[in-house]
Amino acid sequence: MKLTRRDLFVWGAGAAAGLAFTPVPWKLLDDTSIWSQNWPWIPQPTRGPVDVKQSFCTLCPRGCAVKIRMAGGWPVGVAGVSANPLTHGALCPLGFGAHQLNWHPKRLRAVRHNGVPSSWDAARSAFVKACTQGPVVIIDGYPGRAASQVFETFTEKRGAYVIALNPETRALSPYEHWTGVPATVLGYDLENAKTIVSFGAPLLDGWGIPGRFTRLWAERAAGIRDPELRLIDIEDSLSHTAAKASKWVSVKTGSEGALAAAVARILIEERLVAAQGPVPRLTLAEASDQTGLTIDAMRDLARMIAAKPPAVVIGNDENPGVAGLNVVLGAVGARGGIVRRSKRSKSYASTDALLANAGAVLVDSSVPWDVVPKTDAECFRFAAWDGGSGRADWLLPAPGFLEELTDVPAAPTSGFETYGIAAQLTKPIHEVQSASQFLASIDPALPTPEQLIHARCADLFKSRAGRVYAKEVRPVASLESAQKLEEQLSAGAIWIGDPPAPGGLKCELKEWPQGIATEPSRDWSATWPVPILPPLATKLYRESALREAPDRRTA
């Protein structure tokens, strides 16, 4: 028998067809799938002892309680602390990816001078030299910390210490002008409010302490809390808050102040509120033109606000017209309204007036990246991440997430005083320095944050006020020593002061304040204080329709 080329083809085709009916190709496919995971370039998680620590997130001034899962000395997971009475276990979505940030490609790894790598010694020499050219201005976006006290002490004889207010605190600044009480010690008593009116504030989308208002709102939806808790949202576009509010009032952009004035006029004229105030000059017809709402719709809105007291108005910015509505409602200094959480009365000057003659401007890392000092002085910016060059002469790498010991003062909008300590849980992965360490290397007489935290704990212990929320809740008065208090706080417990007594804040208006155009609402992703997002958040942007990517928003 002769073997031809045709026979070979037939045999080959037959073998191929027969193989398909055996497990061989499937097994090969399966094995390839498994083998391909064993290549050396496949990343593997850290191995090592696993531990769970409790601390606070210090990426923004809200200071949420966090539970950190550590493996081999590195944070490998972030979760909320359900026992924390402020956050109830909630975190903002970005917080869940915070442990990735220290490894972010945009992490500042070395000192940079005008975009060129430099050294800490050079930065120190330049700062000392700039200090001789004029006063030093230190801008702090996270006031109330031990580091803030270091800044104040350093600038006492050398210049000025100023704070950069975040949007939530800025919304309280009109009350500072009217009452003399600093906006940094004002907050909202949301837990006792029955009607909450948002003028563009993203209450369900990152406003205030995560888990505070959202929790109240969810409990209302579930029937746990008073089901009559009303959320009225007034803004020009459909936000997440507007979508879930009891009532969304759509107004023309920038007409929030006019609507507030119209509502105040109706409240006073129809005697819907006990408290009185100056009647706005704006007529209802004029307000109707500006807002696009009918007079009847505005009347309905005013009656709805007054129907379920106590009511409080929350603005998205410092619009005095919106703030004036709280005065008419009697919400300033009242239960369920705006409260003073601390007796501290020191307020700080605005930045612009001081920057003109400054020799050096030091910007602390906690300041939002978009704070750009308008000055000719040499600018030194401490930051853990590089948000883009050209915004500072010197970029100085600061400690990242959980890389330094710091204390955590009360969050903006909080109705009561709180204090916590965020311990250093992980070693810095680059040569970093905090702004307070940098200043201490110039003036060794400065107190260290450790000493100030120690002193603050001693003061709290001496005051015997408030409670400590650890595994169990204990009044400070029942603790054995200040050291015990500090130990508990360092382990992630939180001290919460006694609730403020009502009536600690008086506010009267002689004439109705003029409104200004309100800034558009911004969600959590826009107000994130660091200039980069965790990679997982970038993924969330790209792969879901929940959020609009920042580049698309600004486009």
Partner 1 sequence: MTARYGMVIDLDRCTGCGACMMACASENNTPALPQASPRTGLTPLLVRQVSNGENGANHREAFIPIMCMQCEYETPCVSVCPQQAVEVDKATGIVMQMPQRCLGCRYCMTACPYHARYFNWWDPAWPAGMEKSLNPGVAVRMRGVVEKCNLCHGRLHAAEEKAAVNGKREIDPADYVPACVEACPTGAIHFGNLADPSDPVSQESRSPDAFRLLARLGTQPKVYYKSKEPWVKALAEPASGRMEVKNV
- Shortest Cβ distance from residue 252 to partner 1 (Å)? 14
Residues 477-496 that bind partner 1 (CB under 8 A): none
Contacts with partner 1 by CB under 8 A: the residue count is 76
By beta-carbon proximity to partner 1, the closer residue of 344 and 539 is: 539
How many angstroms from the chain centroid is the CA of residue 493? 20
- 524 binds partner 1, rule: CB under 8 A: yes
Length, in residues, of the chain: 555
Site for partner 1 in 104-133 (CB under 8 A): 104-105
Q: CA nearest 217: which of 88, 328, 69?
A: 88
Tell which positions 249-288 bind partner 1, by CB under 8 A.
249-250
In the range 289-348, which residues lie near partner 1 by CB under 8 A? none
Q: What is the number of other CB atoms lying within 10 angstroms of the CB of residue 289?
A: 13
Whole-number minimum distance, CB 210 to partner 1, in Å?
6
Out of 514, 535, 548, 549, name the contact with partner 1 by CB under 8 A: 535
Residue 303 near residue 317, CB atoms below 8 Å: no
Of 328, 303, 305, 324, give the one whose Cα is nearest residue 315: 324
Q: Based on CB atoms, which residue is closest to partner 1, 178 or 524?
A: 524
Q: How near is the Cβ of 6 to partner 1 at its closest, in Å?
A: 35
Spatial distance between the Cα atoms of 66 and 527, rounded to a whole number of angstroms:
20
Query: Which of residues 214 and 255 has its CB atom nearest to partner 1 in the complex?
Result: 214
Q: Kindly provide the b/e burial profile for residues 471-483, where b requires at least 16 CB atoms within 10 angstroms of the residue's own CB.
A: eeebebeebeebe
Closest approach, Cβ 10 to partner 1, in A, equals 29
Residue closer to partner 1, measured from CB, 230 or 456: 230
- Using the contact rule CB under 8 A, the part of the chain among 42-50, 140-148, 323-331, 511-519 near partner 1 is 42-50
81 to 100, contacts with partner 1 by CB under 8 A? 88-94, 96-97, 99-100
Extract the tokens encoding 454.
């120690």
Site for partner 1, residues 60 to 79, rule: CB under 8 A: 69, 71-72, 74-79
Contacts of 266 (CB under 8 A, 6+ apart): 272, 284, 298, 299, 302, 303
Contacts of partner 1 in 502-521 (CB under 8 A)? none
Pairing of β 494-496 and β 418-422: antiparallel
Cβ burial 220-259 (10 Å sphere, 16+ → b, else e) = beeeeeeeebbbbbbbbeebbbbebbeebbebeebbbbbb
Site string for partner 1, 18-37 (x = CB under 8 A): --------x--xx--xx-xx
For partner 1, the closer of residues 179 and 288 by Cβ is 288
Segment 193 to 252, residues that bind partner 1, using CB under 8 A: 204-206, 210-211, 214-215, 217-218, 221-222, 238, 240, 243-244, 247-250
* Residue with smaller CB distance to partner 1, 161 or 213: 213
Residue 190: CB minimum distance to partner 1, A: 15
The rounded distance, in Å, linking the Cα atoms of 551 and 396 is: 26
Q: Which of residues 419-448 bind partner 1 (CB under 8 A)?
A: 429
Stretch that binds partner 1, among 41-49, 125-133, 259-267, 440-448 (CB under 8 A): 41-49
Could you tell me which residues are beta bridge partners of residue 68? 53, 78
How crowded is the C-beta side of 162, counted as CA atoms within 13 Å?
20
